[in-house]
């Protein structure tokens, strides 16, 4: 077993084919990004997608479930302060080391976000995370986000997976991205690696939480947001959906 594989096993306490949950998966040496070029193209697209929601350069922004956040410096240059929240502990440690001493960027655990005062953020982004949460956990997070957003703030929920979109559509979207960005062969091998990896098994066992457009709008409304589906999904996969939500003011506010 190589050093990275050993580290992944250490990170999760089990092998990749026997991962306990999605957070363990994202804390491991997973094959979601097929090579460095893919990671870079992905980061560029996510940054560009999030930047559309940054109306002013002084906003305080929370990126919830930030992953590797290779785009963080680019986003931080467009915000007053950027808070990265990541649940996977080893991934979070790496981010904390990367941004140690950076006055613009803080890296925190979900528990730290839950302890923040009301109305801490102008913008909260949660991109490509809702599918890995149970519906109950997502609803609980929406209540937290509602509390943490300023009255004129915005919540952006991206990459929402519809019930009618499956793994073949995801694979096609990746191959199209790869063909347009010079990593088609690597993407083919990457898809084969993914098919053999813990990802496929975990996706079969745990599934992804899916929402139709109407489901998501209903869920956001019930949590105290007025929401609309954006014309474009953040990122490369336009079979998935992004929602922009604004807190509805309650009578006592
Ligand atoms: C597909 S990645 C998306 C990363 C990033 N948002 C992006 O679009 O590049 C999903 C991330 O959400 C994180 N995550 C999953 N459940 C979470 C939770 N309950 N709280 C915070 N982060 C979570 C995972 O650890 C993983 O890093």
Successive 10-residue mean pLDDT values, the chain, 253 residues: 33 42 89 92 98 97 98 97 98 98 96 98 98 96 98 98 91 96 94 82 86 98 98 97 94 53
Q: How many residues does the chain have?
A: 253
Enumerate the β-bridge partners of residue 155. 124, 245
pTM of the model as a whole: 0.91
Selection from 114, 108, 115 nearest residue 137 by Cα:
114
Distance separating alpha carbons of residues 240 and 141, to the nearest angstrom = 20
Pocket of ligand 1 (CB under 6 A): 22-23, 26, 46, 64-67, 85-88, 110, 127-129, 132-133
CATH class of segment(s) 32-247: alpha beta
Selection from 125, 194, 150, 19 nearest residue 186 by Cα:
194
Q: Which of 21, 25, 26, 33 to mutate to test the pocket of ligand 1 (most atoms within 8 A of CB)?
A: 26
Distance separating alpha carbons of residues 139 and 136, to the nearest angstrom = 5
Could you tell me the residue ranges of all domains in the chain? Answer: 32-247
> How many A from CA of 132 to the centre of ligand 1?
8
């Amino acid at each position: 077993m190589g050093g990275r594989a050993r580290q992944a096993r250490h990170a999760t306490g089990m092998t990749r084919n026997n991962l306990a949950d999605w957070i363990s998966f994202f804390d491991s040496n997973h094959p979601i990004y097929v090579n460095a070029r893919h990671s870079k193209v992905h980061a560029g697209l996510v940054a560009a997608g999030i930047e559309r929601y940054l109306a002013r350069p002084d906003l305080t922004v929370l990126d919830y479930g930030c992953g590797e956040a290779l785009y963080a410096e680019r986003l931080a240059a467009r915000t007053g302060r950027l808070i990265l929240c990541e649940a996977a502990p080893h991934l979070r440690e790496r981010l904390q080391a990367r941004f140690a001493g950076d006055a613009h960027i803080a890296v925190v655990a979900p528990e730290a976000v839950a302890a923040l005062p009301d109305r801490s953020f102008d913008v909260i982004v949660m991109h490509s995370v809702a599918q890995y949460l149970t519906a109950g956990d997502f609803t609980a997070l929406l209540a937290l986000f509602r509390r943490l957003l300023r009255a004129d703030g915005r919540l952006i929920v991206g990459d929402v997976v519809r019930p009618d979109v499956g793994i073949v559509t995801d694979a096609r979207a990746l191959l199209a991205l790869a063909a347009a960005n010079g990593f088609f062969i690597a993407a083919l091998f990457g898809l084969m690696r993914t098919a053999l990896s813990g990802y496929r098994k975990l996706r079969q066992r745990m599934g992804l939480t899916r929402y139709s457009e109407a489901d998501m709008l209903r869920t956001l409304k019930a949590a105290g947001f007025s929401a609309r589906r954006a014309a474009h999904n953040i990122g490369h996969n336009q079979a998935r959906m992004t929602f922009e939500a604004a807190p509805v003011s309650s009578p006592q506010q």
